Amino acid sequence: MEDKKITVHFGGFGTLLGIAFIVLKLCKVINWSWIWVLAPIWISWGITLIIIIIAAILIAILNR
């Protein structure tokens, strides 16, 4: 019989921190604005987007 492994990926640190902040907000432990509760998620997306844009610009310049 073949062993099957199941892997679950919960995301990076920003995603896990965002989930923790959401739980704390919903349990009324913290009284932050939703924009700051979700900040770890949108900041990590923003950094990723900036890196992709810089890489695309560098590739376009090098391929000239």
CA distance 14 to 44: 6
| DSSP conformational letter for 51 | H
Q: What is the mean pLDDT of the chain?
A: 90
Mean pLDDT for the stretch of residues 30-48: 93
Could you tell me the two tokens for 35? 């924009």
CA distance 57 to 54: 5
Mean pLDDT for the stretch of residues 40-63: 93
Residue 61 has a pLDDT of 96
Which residue, 22, 16, 23, 3, is CA-closest to 44?
Answer: 16
